Amino acid sequence: MFKLFKTILKAGEATTKYPFAPFPVSPGFRGKPELDPTQCISCGACTIACPANALSMGTDAQAGTRTWELFLGRCIFCGRCEEVCPTHALALTPEFELAVGRREDLFQRATFKLEPCAECGQPFASHKEVDYALALLVQSGLPAEEAEAQRTHLATCPACKRKQNLADPSKVALGPYINKGML
């Protein structure tokens, strides 16, 4: 018996005190993804990368808003969203206690204001995304005033940009043919 106690004492504690004490997880543990809405520019990169379709983006053109949504019930904690996020707005946390009483509590949402196209007025990208593109120009060395002068161009939707490019013969080689009615 004494020998058994000695072996037990030597082995130390084989179990943890969880759930009466916090359970320490390993560094790099992939738990619940958390969004920092102040950092998010609503670019949608994470929603495209998510292999489990746990992330989605919904646009309400009437209200001029775009809503980012995470449904934890589908998340497989792969970390792809964190990898692709350009602004470090989304990160996996050490949190693993995810049980909830209501399905609705498995959702995280954040809503962003959309920028209307400078040409046609249709909302197409989030206001923060346009600001982010300008900030990147400044970061890459363009003086702030010159970057600001690009705002109208950056705030033009892809469809209007295409039309502008086609109408301007100096920008697209097809322009002269279109203007002459040859295409």
Please report, as ranges, the residues that interact with ligand SF4 according to CB under 6 A.
Answer: 33, 35, 40-46, 49-50, 52, 54-55, 68, 70, 75-81, 84-85, 87, 89-90
DSSP 73-115: TT-----HHHHH-TTS-EEE-S------SSGGGGEEEEEEEEE
Contact 64, 123 (CB under 8 A): yes
* Spatial separation of the C-alpha atoms in residues 132 and 126, rounded to whole Å: 10
* Spatial separation of the C-alpha atoms in residues 131 and 166, rounded to whole Å: 26
Rank residues 82 and 119 by Cβ distance to ligand SF4 and give the closer one: 82
Rank residues 55 and 125 by Cβ distance to ligand SF4 and give the closer one: 55
* Spatial separation of the C-alpha atoms in residues 146 and 142, rounded to whole Å: 7
Least distance (Å) between residue 132 CB and ligand SF4 = 8
Least distance (Å) between residue 171 CB and ligand SF4 = 29
Rank residues 75 and 155 by Cβ distance to ligand SF4 and give the closer one: 75
Rank residues 76 and 178 by Cβ distance to ligand SF4 and give the closer one: 76
Least distance (Å) between residue 149 CB and ligand SF4 = 25
Least distance (Å) between residue 82 CB and ligand SF4 = 7
Rank residues 121 and 158 by Cβ distance to ligand SF4 and give the closer one: 158
Least distance (Å) between residue 114 CB and ligand SF4 = 13
Query: Which contacts (CB < 8 Å, 24+ apart) does range 148-156 have?
Result: 152/118, 154/130, 155/115, 155/116, 155/117, 155/118, 155/125, 155/130, 156/117, 156/118, 156/119
